[in-house]
Amino acid sequence: QVQLVESGGGLVQAGGSLRLSCAASGNIRIRNMGWFRQAPGKQRELVAEINSGGSTNYADSVKGRFAVSRDNANNTLYLQMNGLTPEDTAVYYCAASPFPIAHPVGRSWGQGTQVIVSS
């Protein structure tokens, strides 16, 4: 497993942007990566994923607003979030896995970074 540390969260007004980063302790080149979020009282949900080949997939709620990318040379995952709304308020978690990221087995998790979007 790899150790993951997220950063970049904070308080932003509706319509604003944030860029989250996830630094990994190990080589992420062969791992599938993803960003999840968990709002108060809700289940953790997958919002964006990028596999080891660079293919991406997004939840319908963030399509066209969020962009996931990876820098394998620096073992870092990113999530660019634009057009933020109060509904995006959540703790955002980075995850890595040797399996498809939507599969619960084998995931490594970061500690999470809080995103708060004010109206």
Question: Does residue 30 register a pLDDT over 90?
Answer: no
Does pLDDT of 101 surpass 90? yes
Residue range 62-69: average pLDDT?
A: 98
Non-local (6+) Cβ contacts of 33 within 8 A are: 22, 49, 50, 51, 68, 70, 77, 94, 95, 96, 97, 101
Whether 16 and 117 have beta carbons less than 8 Å apart is answered as yes
Instruction: Tell me the pLDDT band of 26, cut-offs 50, 70 and 90.
Output: confident
- pLDDT above 90: residue 1: no
Q: What is the mean pLDDT of the chain?
A: 96
The yes-or-no verdict on residue 78 having pLDDT over 90 is: yes
Task: Give 8's contacts (C-beta < 8 A, 6+ positions apart).
Answer: 18, 19, 20, 21, 113
